[in-house]
Structure 1
Amino acid sequence: MLLDGVREVQQAVKTGRLTPAVRSRFQAVALLLREERARVQAAAISDARRAERLKRLDQVAQQLAVAAVRDAGLLHLLSDDAVVAPSSRSLLREMQREAGIEPATQEVPVPPTAASTAAPFAPPSGAAAPAAASERAVVPTSVASRQLANPFLAPVFTTQPDHAVLPRRLGGWDLVAALLSAFERAGGGDAACMELPEPTSQYTPAGKELMQHQGELVAAAAQGHRTFLLADEPGLGKTAQALLAAEAAMAYPLLVVVPSVVKTNWAREAGLWVPHRSTTVVQGSGESVNGFADVVVVNYEVLDRHLGWLGDFGFRGMVVDEAHFIKNKTSQRSQNVLAIADRVRARTPDPLVMALTGTPLINDVDDFRAIWQLLGWTDGTRPVPALLEALEDLDRTPADPDFYPGARRAVVDLGIVRRRKVDVAADIPSRRVADLPVDLDGPAGRSVRAAERDLALRMVERYHRALAHRAAAGLDGVLAMDSDDDESRSVVAAVAAPTIGAQTEAEAAAQAEAEAAAVLEEAYEALGATPASAAPAAPVIDAALVRRVAKAELKDSETADGENVFSVVRRIGRAKAELAADYTAQLARSAGKVVFFAKHVEVMDTAEELFARQGLRFSSVRGGQTPEVRQRNVDAFVNDPDVAVVVCSLTAAGVGLNLQVASDVVLAELSWTDAEQTQAIDRVHRIGQTEPVTAWRVIAAQTLDARIAAMIDSKAGLAARALDGSDEEVADSVNVQLEALVGLLTDALEEGLTP
């Protein structure tokens, strides 16, 4: 557990992303390290056992101290007078509970902050008051720090001019109902997309390229358009369009409200399309929130806890992904989203507001009501002045049939953008694989992490046994020492160099070395650990031995007790099954028929249970079916318009099926080879397919799953090159399994994991 915390801090230091959440983690780990050292020293155990445990704690302290010398802020947190932040104290209690340690009942007093004195959230007049807000409301410490650090971040409230338009011809009509009727009456050839300008690439980061249809929307935002119902079909890059539209509209900080299944993907996409913008993801109570971030991603399910500070944050833009989730205006979820949108408009003149959905209508045109209110096109009961004025200019009333085409056009011009895959086929590849990273939370996520740790520990133990055996045989020699301490000293030296003054190069280096050593000593003393000068350096990892251990582990995987690479992958599949099925259901409602692939029966069962609960009709193709049953299920998917999903086994349905009636594939579990993955996708991407095909690969972030995905991609072209005469070895499933184990063991050794 301590190593997990140190690992997170080290990674943040390397990437230069020391967020408040990382600092809180650093402080909590340091506090727990001190407590554990005191507990070990007071424990009634043998001197040998005590020395062994203290040695392990020293190894953790060594890594923590090395991280501290890279950042003055971290070093300050080790001082005796450092204030323990509430988030650090909360993390400390959580780590104590996970370690089976009873948290101390006497807590460190914390001075009052903006978080504890903030006024409760009050929704604007006319907005729905969330029932649970007062009971569950939280304000992350980092957000309170942001408010205190820069009071000028808060927008200034100003009286907005009254642009009210008095109805002339249309007085007394229910215009919202008439507008809904205009969409209900529309013919197939009626306009479904506003006029868009020529595309722009001005805001596209280096190394990235927008497709033409994406650049058109960004250009519209650059020209001043501020509300969009972006209803492109899935796979056309709505996320990138929204992020770059916010860049063009200078609409940061930006709030992004999303379903939980795509929360991690939004953070990843923000890193790709707006890399100069910092992004934070709101998890649970928001303890890890970076209050200074430019992009704040939050899922619908936790909005009620965060209404207060989100409403007062000063967002200049708001994006609601899968906006059809708010179609029911009486639901708490819809009320929360609409209340925040009202607050954003009240605090920021002319903000960017975007509703993203491939499914603008779920049941009927009445589903538009909530989305139009979100975008500020209506106030829930009547059109806003700009729309009312456009309707008055039609010189018609809802009693005239000619009123409806013009009324629909007036709403479309407010910002409806709808493109289908077939409409922009020239822009997009005929076949592509899109990764959808998901976070595994709760018991399932903890189970996966524990399983990976058990597997890594077994390999680490085998590695150390091999080293000991080799040393006993006199074959080990002298191991080269790690350069961590030297690297740390060079970091401090670089900081200290400008203050050294005019000296010879040798004198400057010597002084910098001395100052670096002093800083390291200070960090070690603050942690109560053995001084750095006495701390043993870690030996260089023997890559050849790592590979031999991984090969032995793979060979023993069929008979060895405990976790192995296959059981871990299976556990990951079970953990992400419901997330993958939920995303499939969203695709089916927005894009039509979807093919769902999985490897394990329990994953298929979980998916089918979710589809049944959501009232989504499906068929199933899996092993053990007779040819007649199999063909009947395929025919149901192909021919019955009400069967939205076919659930397929990767092994039983990966070949021999024609499923080109769909253009979207969800790979809920990864195959071991690119060839197997391609075979699955080719059930849809084949002769007779009239639309570009998108395969959505659901990947569990920060697990063995992500490592396997990367290796499959890196080896994807080997087969083709081999056919062209290359002497490079063609990758098979064993290669990927072995490389996954090699990477897992290497990481464990680098992080100092000990059996």
Structure 2
Amino acid sequence: MARRGQRQSGATRTTRNAPRRRVRKVDAEGILPVLARAVREVESAVERGAIRPSVRTKFQVVALLVREERARVTKDESSSDAYRAEQLRRLDGIATILATTAARDTSLLMLLAEDAVMSDAAVALKREMQTAAGAEPALDEPQLTEPTAEPAPAARQIVPQSVVSRQLANPFLAPDFSAAAPPKPRGPGRLSDWELIGPLLKSFEYATASASESLPEPSSIRLPGGLELMRHQAQLVAAAAAGQRTFLLADEPGLGKTAQALLAAQAADAYPLLVVVPNVVKTNWAREAGLWTPQKTATVIHGNGDTIDGFADIVVVNYEILDRHVGWLGDLGFRGMVVDEAHFIKNKKSQRSRNVLQLSERIQRRAVRPLLMALTGTPLINDIDDFKAIWQFLGWIDETKPGAELMESLEETGLTPADREFYPAARNSVIDLGIVRRLKVDVAADIPARRVADLPVELDDAAGRSIRDAERELADRLVARYESALATRNSGAVVDGIDHELVRRVAGWERTEMDKAKTGENVFSLVRRIGRAKAGLAADYAAQLAHNVGKVVFFARHIEVMDAAEEIFAERGIRYSSIRGDQTAKKRQTNIDAFMNDPEVSIAVCSLLTAGVGLNLQVASNVVLAELSWTNAEQTQAIDRVHRIGQEEPVTAWRIIAAQTIDTRIADLIDSKAGLAARALDGSDEEVSSAADFQLEALAALLTNALTDRA
């Protein structure tokens, strides 16, 4: 026992005599101990589920101070490398606790966004923690006037778990945006007092030459799997490799814009890359990325993003769910952004347009010369104004004026909008920023020609008679309204013949009120009835084509028309694939593959609104348009699912038109609008019309014809 006691005593003496680690005084002082205590308090509160506003405030302040201290230590050249490494290790430990805590409640991540509000309470707490650490708070710390309570996270905003994992690996430190150059201050120039957005748009309206930038000759590009690029595709990739970073890629549909965008991103090293697309094509974008840039990983966001790869190089998201992901997407550190079917953002008041513009603006502020690409084969739907949102996405203009680069170019012309020469010079200035527009006839001579052939059909059954009666009823209502307005006008104006201005006003009244009407025929219901009446005739013609010439693509606008056609095909033993908007991406792709690869599948029955973009159906050379579009762009997009690279035969689109009905007037309107994009981008001599609502134009035509018949 004595020996045991002696051994214990010796052991105690040995421990006491052992050299202790020398603790630097600063280890127990400064900001780190303060942050360590605070982060443990936050961690404990979140574990208990007690996430009060004060806890959220403390979380935000600790994270901000961690970032500031890390930046200070990194730049501190007065300390030894060993000391800096130790401080950074301790900071990483605090950051990891923050990240683990945020993984329990991902809404905390919203407090770290660049545009997150820092409340008065947060400012006060930050000063308090800095004082406790013995540091002097900055005298110029902004005094904010927002409410002391933390703002609630935006509705439906989420952060996928895999993105949290990416941040954990970082660990929880924001991407470094310090290399992004601040905007250069611009003094008042000769054009500073001029309104320039209108003249810039007008310069395209009155153009007589093709709107396409001169691109460099293509260089050698190594592609996987024996893939080849056409010359026009390689030229754009070469431009990106040479340093160009904004493109409005407005090639005609079918000229391979997806491949150009993916390879341009590779040439510009614009990763991570954000791609915003219509829902129907987002899976196809991931497949194309695997084909053209297989060394880069691509992920597709579905729903809340539970299945995405947070570490992917290419993130593909559709417009419809962008609102719930815009928060974390804006903070991920993208160096490039592609917007496919960019005409979808033409309405700047829409939520999807605002989301796209917000993300673009954040990327431009944070990244060094990011790659921004707007892809659309139909950049103008109804009006030159459709350009504005796309130009703003690309950073060429803002809400009220040209961007710095465009303004500099305009100043160099030495002209003002008062000079006639300003307009062609201004147009060239915009084009040089990156408008690229190539026509199939110019760059893809090996793609056969296409034509639209109208097939008038007589609706001579009971449904046809009912439709004509309904159209007469609608025309009578318009005439009565026109005559009433004419009789009660008090302007004293006298118009010889038909007052076409009044005709348009009457059509506008009808167009505004028809959505409110509970009963009675309107142009929408009338056109829908015509579509149903034509369904059997259109399906019969498609069946004949399939029997005689091979595969056919059948487009319809309404579900009941698709159902009626599919029923006829089934009765005749014709195998078909159905491509609709209510299908899952997997089901849709399975049906597309069946049409493309199975020789027994003769017809693809497609929704005009869902399948009119982003699909490659060039295995067919005949298209049946069972129902008419409301725009030429929509019709063109549908036809170009077939008329594109890979097509080996001439393409014919058979447009089924109900004779002696409003269908014929709508077809004429579609054809009359076809010159809009041609005029603005291709230098065509066709006249550009003003913004036009096709429904209004159809009603005006119906009223004009009725008045003419009664004259």
Question: Per the shorter chain, which TM-score range?
Answer: 0.3 to 0.5
Provide TM-score, normalisation by structure 1.
0.45
Higher gyration radius (CA): 2
Provide TM-score, normalisation by structure 2.
0.48
